[in-house]
Amino acid sequence: MSTPASASLADADPLLDGLNPQQRTAVLSRSAALLIVAGAGSGKTAVLTRRVARLIRDRELWPSQILAITFTNKAAAEMRERVELLVGREAAQGMWISTFHSACVRILRREAEQFGFGAAFTIYDSADSRALIKRLVKEMQADTLGFTVSAVAGKISRLKNELVDAEGYSRQLNPNDPTEVMFLELFRRYTAELRRANAFDFDDLIAQTVYLFRAFPKVAALYQRRFRHILIDEYQDTNHAQYALIRELTRPVEPVHVPVDTRVELDATGGIPAASLTVVGDSDQSIYAFRGADIRNIVEFERDFTGAEVVLLEQNYRSTQTILDAANAVIANNFDRIAKNLFTAVGAGDKIVGFTGYTQHDEAQFVADEIQKLHEAGTPYSQIAVFYRTNAQTRALEEIFIRSGLPYRVLGGTKFYERAEIKDLMAYLIAVANPADGLAMRRILNTPKRGIGPATETALANHADELGGTMHDALRDAAALGLGPKVTAAILDLAGLLDELADGVTTMLVPDVLTTIIERTNYLELLRGSRDPQDEARAENVEELVAVTRDFQKNNPEGRLVDFLTEVALVAAADDLDDSSGTVSLMTLHTAKGLEYDAVFITGVEENLLPHQMSAAEPGGPAEERRLFYVGITRARKVLHLSLAMTRSTFGDTTVASPSRYLQEIPTELIDWRDSPGMGARSSTRSLGSGRDGFRYSASLPPAGKPKTEWANRVTASVRDNGDLTLAVGDRIRHVDFGDGTVSAVTGVGPKSIAEVQFETAGRKRLLIKIAPLEKL
């Protein structure tokens, strides 16, 4: 970061060193409300951390009086690290830096008892909510009215983000509309079930904190007094509930809630003035409207917080001018925005590389080949990222990456914690921590199989109701149900295990709780002894989970079961990003927000994918998709690749794809289009619907149904296994796709060994020997 140094006293301050005038203003402003409009790559993290560092260093307030909200846990950790680097680890102790959800969990765990919840409440993820809603829809036979689980879940979530609870909804509904009445009943029962289970869903974490503050001004005052400076990052993606939370936290404290011994400065009436608020955002990067994010929060900030100061950061320190030109050109097509132009002093840099493949496999091969070239030219794998619109697009990429021996990791997507065996064991842990959680209890009741079927489950649930207690209470009292001796014994055994663990929950280490469960239920042994070949992988996952708990305990020696469960519930896709891993990162465009890489690939830049088909119907959909593309482009520092395929297979059948409308918005001279190597002789007619140059169009598509074997980059669907085949430098081999070649190097050991092969016609490739479709000649 280099800016012309102005000769002022401030230059002596290392915390202002290297900042441009706007950035300095943003660091130094002491306005009660400050909006920093930070374009992509404009050094906003540097500004935020230095602002916080100055507050602490100059003793304007204690670290514990600072609340900073970031979008992901990873961003929070990064910010803490950078502040510690500036003022020292000791001096930074006590700051709250976290996501909205983590901060609210922290508050709720402290205050839950105030309003009828227990401190060990469970956090339901979307899958848990859906499971519960599914049961309710069934019980109510709501499906006959056309209710689907996802529609109900979506509507409840939207209402909660708007701070409308079941009672609020009942006041505004039409009592003559049976579907509205039914929905209200579902909403009511869902709310009641959560309360009974001592659980909050994701949306509750925010909404219930707001309700808590509104219902208990004394509790609210506690936090209003404590936090004197509040910073919110990615403000453009806050929803109404989050906005309301900010409003609650930035209320002045009434004199009646001011303790006599307060050291805080009082206002004229004897109260404590409102906390200062700093928000950072960029409406061009708002991509979470589907989650309730309301762009008005940032647009109307100045009106909401009177006397607010606004600082604009437009200079970009990340990307080349070529990349910025493309980004500016694309985003300029969104009409309802405040004009803003990113600029840089870096220079034009390389052209954007465009590629049109025949199929998604062809496209993936291009990506893999380009990554290999970049790597050989000195770009580390960790500085390369591949983005896509939907998670389903990873498959083709992964297939090719595995076969090319490229080290990669997928961020987000089908997560570890969504696997059945992991959910099983997590359900045990939850049942131990929160005996009221019926959902977890139902899951473990017959896992592993102990002969407790649906009939017994219902009997136990009814018994719990009769006792007026939890499922756990019913289990202990199973003898009263008059079931068979075998089933009764199994139930009592489970109840005993849970009792035993619940007794030790405050003292036992988390890995010990888990291993006790695994041993007593024989979980691992059963998987090992199974003849289902997939169970071997499941057993490995179970061991991985044990390793995760050990890791957790190592990092949090004081952490107990509830802390572990909280951490697991709130980890986001981008959070487990380990920069030191030395791998290429694959992720959705949404996950890419806030990250940056030397080389970026945006794949699947096609109509119906980017913009996505589903977005067309939504108001503001195409504009939001454009912002998504903009976010993707602006992640790149040095080189950007845009690729698409002419055909794409979804659901097993192949459809013709056409280039995204957004590609036409990038000036032609910025992109260097390359041909697909699998397409044979180049055609002279290259046109796109609009007449702009740049693409091969579908005129050259083969007739439908024609086998794809004629293309050099064809990918065989099944993964083959060459067993223990070993290759040495100089060996001649024949590859199904690439033809004959000579091995020029071999790296790696055992099943992970990779051969570098110089092919006669296809060039140099790296292949995973074990599975590449090749034979030794």
Binding site for DNA (CB under 7 A): 72, 99-101, 125-126, 202-203, 287, 290-291, 389-392, 412, 446, 449-456, 487, 570, 572-575, 588, 590-591, 612-615, 618, 650-652, 717
Least distance (Å) from DNA to the CB of residue 231? 17
Catalytic residue among 22, 24, 44, 294: 44
Cis peptide before 448 (omega within 30 of 0): yes
Task: Name the token pair of 452.
Answer: 């407790």
Helix residue ranges, H only, 571-645: 621-633
Answer yes or no: 520 catalytic.
no
Tell me whether strands 636-645 and 352-357 are parallel, antiparallel or unpaired: parallel
Of 307 and 454, CB closest to DNA: 454
Tell me whether strands 597-602 and 384-388 are parallel, antiparallel or unpaired: parallel
Least distance (Å) from DNA to the CB of residue 151? 10
Residue 365 contacts residue 357 (beta carbons within 8 Å): yes
Please, what sign has the CA dihedral across residues 142, 147, 148, 153?
negative
Catalytic residue among 3, 13, 25, 45: 45
Per-residue burial over 243-279, b = 16 or more CB atoms within 10 Å of its CB, e = otherwise: bbbbebbbbebeeebbeeeeeeeeeeeebbebbbbbb
3-state secondary structure of 751: helix
C-alpha to C-alpha distance for 413 and 78, rounded to whole angstroms: 23
The letter for the amino acid at 699 is A
Least distance (Å) from DNA to the CB of residue 476? 19
Of 699 and 717, CB closest to DNA: 717
User: Which single residue is written with the structure tokens 């065989």?
Assistant: 716
Of 99 and 643, CB closest to DNA: 99
User: Which single residue is written with the structure tokens 């979506």?
Assistant: 154
Least distance (Å) from DNA to the CB of residue 292? 9
Q: What angle do CA 701, 707, 713 make, to 5 degrees?
A: 75
Closest C-alpha among 106, 9, 5 to residue 567: 106
3-state secondary structure of 244: helix
Of 342 and 471, CB closest to DNA: 471
Answer yes or no: 470 catalytic.
no
Of 305 and 711, CB closest to DNA: 711
Catalytic residue among 24, 318, 635, 696: 635
Answer yes or no: 635 catalytic.
yes
Catalytic residue among 233, 284, 369, 437: 233
CA atoms within 13 A on the CB side of 430: 30
Catalytic residue among 49, 72, 242, 285: 285
Beta bridge partners of 384: 599
C-alpha to C-alpha distance for 377 and 386, rounded to whole angstroms: 18
Q: What angle do CA 718, 722, 726 make, to 5 degrees?
A: 150
Residue 764 contacts residue 749 (beta carbons within 8 Å): no
CB atoms inside a 10 Å sphere around CB 359:
23
Least distance (Å) from DNA to the CB of residue 649? 7
Closest C-alpha among 541, 525, 437 to residue 194: 437
Answer yes or no: 45 catalytic.
yes
109 exposure class (CB count in 10 Å sphere: 0-12, 13-18, 19+): middle
As a whole number of angstroms, the longest Cα–Cα distance in the chain is: 91
Task: Give, to the nearest 10 degrees, the angle between helix 510-521 and helix 534-555.
Answer: 150
Residue ranges of the annotated binding site for ATP are: 38-45
Least distance (Å) from DNA to the CB of residue 326? 22
Least distance (Å) from DNA to the CB of residue 339? 25
Least distance (Å) from DNA to the CB of residue 412? 4
C-alpha to C-alpha distance for 394 and 771, rounded to whole angstroms: 19
Task: Name the token pair of 225.
Answer: 């007094």
Residue ranges of the annotated binding site are: 38-45
Of 87 and 425, CB closest to DNA: 425
Q: What angle do CA 390, 391, 395 make, to 5 degrees?
A: 115
Of 301 and 387, CB closest to DNA: 387
User: Which single residue is written with the structure tokens 């996505």?
Assistant: 612
Of 101 and 229, CB closest to DNA: 101
Least distance (Å) from DNA to the CB of residue 532? 8
Least distance (Å) from DNA to the CB of residue 60? 29
Task: Name the token pair of 491.
Answer: 């139930």
The letter for the amino acid at 548 is V
Of 19 and 75, CB closest to DNA: 75
Catalytic positions are 44-45, 233-234, 285, 635
